[in-house]
Chain A
């Protein structure tokens, strides 16, 4: 019977793999789910244009990717970590402790974060950071005083907004997107509405700096009475929530929105419409750079690693007319500098 044959072969391979290390000839990449589509587009084109095998790209989130990246040097560890934020001091330290002392940072472009709602829903077409802060914060400013958020409808604090219940779907705390949302939307709104000053006055801390930090942290808080829902899954989950709730507002990446314009309509932020142009110029306020990090020790050991990095940032791929821009990446105006730094294998400073 074939069962016995496959048993022996499976056991033989098991024994083989347990004793010898497996030589690896493909580039292995893990990290941010925001960068994943771009990395997979590049990996695919790389496989078509070069002789070696197509790189393997996995997702899992920026933090998880960088953690695996910092596990050490060797064929069992990944070569590249994708991240939707800059690598943190703490992570650089963890990397160095595991022997990953030489890291090359590559900025591939920018990603816009947009607020969108059902295309047939109420007219959510204009937001400011203050609107979102008022809708989401557990404490808001009314008559110069900080009180528990009394607002149930958007029109309660801004007559221009629709007269419907507040229902927002924002990325959960494990997403890199949440960080951008907190920094660029909530903190800004917090300052604009004057809540920040009031929070600063009551903030506890030893120094002025500690107080400011505490006040800023207080701005990050989101109300917990069900008006705001954390989405821990992907944008598809947010889309499903929006689909079933006419009054819902969701947070999406620009690329995701551009692929789903038939069901979603986007809102402006502070009168600026999110487009690749307005994000590249920095006018649209809610955007972030995207990165990948290369383990220099693997260059020359893993075939195709440097070719992949150079191919990724080449004009044909990451430029304004390339496939990445077509998919929704806002290409970096300083791409040329990135190309040189990849070619020269410029290391991340401060290590």
Chain B
């Protein structure tokens, strides 16, 4: 110190420079971390979008079908019971004839001569579509009706660019001649790609017809599950938090409860699935795969989240409010319900919505209670059936599709993820808006 060289205050000493550099480095690390996170987010979102956007469009074929009375109504009496006896298999030749008629009408040259060759162009659902029409309009038998039928998943994949010409050589589900014919049909305007409402509203389909599969029924399953979660976890969670926060005395017992609630929030969700299987299905004999059971399991999972966020927002209400209410003679309960709870409501609702969003995207506990099952054309008919009939849920449906053999289902799985993400984003947005608008700060 004594013989220190006098340095200018304007020039930085070596120590200061090191400190400043350290700060600069730290900032750079932070920026890099954010940039990395953003890159991952962009890659993730663009992958999801790129892979899934195809499922929102579907190829349709407009086929005129002659509803041959000789095949559909052999007795000629238009009796609905007799018409119902004709199975979908008998409709296949009629639809195939319709395609040949189209080939002739548009003057398309093709080496495909056998009716069976036409089968691979159309979805297996086409015969059922025609049969349903005939059953509800028996008067149309003998007429030629133009149907808008789903193209098979391979033709659809070809139009979307998923199925490549070079790859079909060993594919027994489609051949090059059929692709040529599809090209000619597209040119003639017979096959067209349209918005696929069926994907959003429709039911799941079997492995042989991915073109028909939709997420609608499992969306309803998720909806009914969320009703159960909301209906149970909100009142139970809020009641528990109010009691713990406002009424219970602080002693060892409440401490234990508090610690346990925090621990429960961290329990892996699959544990709740096993619990649900043991208690709700094996002990209480509630129906397997029902949204009611799914909702109960998810309620268990959501409760700790709701309790923790509710307690936090109750705590955030300043004690002066309580004191003022008590001071003018309100009872403890009046204080809570007239003054504290309304002020804490935005926080409680935000916590609830975030808890619901978490439950909506949960798959693991649903695996164990049988909600990963194949559910076909059975949308629930009514409130009770919605809760009790077997159904799937959106994340379970996506998982199911991702497992299936046909690559067309892969696209469907990504499409399902897009829909699920839209739901989650909407719910989170509502939570943010609620907080922004109604939350008060002191």
Contact = CB atoms under 8 A, between A and B. Distances in A.
Contacts of B373: 30, 56-59
Top 5 closest A-B pairs, CB basis? A262-B167, A58-B373, A10-B231, A37-B207, A40-B206
Given A11-B231, A44-B377, A47-B377, A259 B383 contact: no
Given A7-B232, A37-B206, A48-B131, A22 B287 contact: yes
Given A11-B231, A48-B88, A234-B403, 19 more contacts: A3-B231, A10-B228, A13-B384, A37-B405, A44-B206, A48-B131, A54-B375, A56-B373, A58-B372, A76-B285, A236-B402, A236-B404, A255-B405, A258-B173, A259-B407, A261-B171, A261-B172, A316-B87, A327-B207
Interface of A: 3, 6-11, 13-14, 16-18, 22, 26, 28, 30, 36-37, 39-41, 43-45, 47-49, 51, 53-54, 56-59, 76, 233-236, 255-256, 258-262, 316, 323, 326-327
Nearest to B203: A54
B370 interface: yes
Given A7-B232, A40-B207, A58-B374, A261 B407 contact: no
A43 B203 CA distance: 13
B286 A17 contact: yes
Interface string B277-294: 000000011111100100
Interface string B149-186: 00000000000000110011011110000000000000
A39 B205 CA distance: 12
B232 A10 contact: yes
Interface of B: 84, 87-89, 124, 128, 131-132, 163-164, 167-168, 170-173, 205-209, 227-228, 230-232, 234-235, 284-289, 292, 295, 370, 372-378, 383-384, 387-388, 390, 402-407
A60 to B, nearest CB: 8
Contacts of B284: 18
24 contacts: A3-B231, A10-B232, A10-B295, A13-B388, A17-B286, A37-B405, A40-B376, A44-B376, A47-B378, A48-B88, A48-B128, A54-B378, A56-B375, A57-B373, A58-B288, A233-B403, A236-B405, A256-B405, A259-B405, A259-B407, A260-B407, A261-B172, A262-B167, A316-B87
A211 B375 CA distance: 48
A30 B208 CA distance: 19
B123 to A, nearest CB: 12
B170 to A, nearest CB: 4
A13 to B, nearest CB: 5
B172 A49 contact: no
Q: Which of A11, A39, A49 has the most CB of B within 10 A?
A: A49
B208 A326 contact: yes
Contact of A9 (B89, B231, B404): B231
Q: Which of A10, A51, A235, A236 has the most CB of B within 10 A?
A: A10
A262 B405 CA distance: 12
Contacts of B377: 44, 47-48, 54
B51 to A, nearest CB: 14
A76 B388 CA distance: 13
Contacts of A8: 231
Contacts of A49: 87-88, 131
Contacts of A233: 403
Nearest to B171: A261
A3 B403 contact: no
B292 A3 contact: no
A215 to B, nearest CB: 37
A174 B376 CA distance: 27
Contacts of A236: 402-405
Contact of B167 (A17, A255, A261): A261
Given A10-B227, A40-B374, A58 B88 contact: no
A173 B209 CA distance: 31
B405 A54 contact: no
A37 B402 CA distance: 14
Contacts of B131: 48-49
Contacts of B390: 26, 28, 56
B383 A9 contact: yes
B331 to A, nearest CB: 23
B231 A7 contact: yes
Contact of A262 (B171, B285, B387): B171
Contact of B378 (A13, A26, A28, A259): A26
A256 B378 CA distance: 27
A7 B235 contact: yes
A111 to B, nearest CB: 13
Contact of A57 (B167, B228, B374): B374
B164 A54 contact: no
A3 B228 CA distance: 10
Contacts of A58: 288-289, 370, 372-374
A259 B390 CA distance: 29
A303 to B, nearest CB: 14
A242 to B, nearest CB: 14
A231 to B, nearest CB: 13
A278 to B, nearest CB: 14
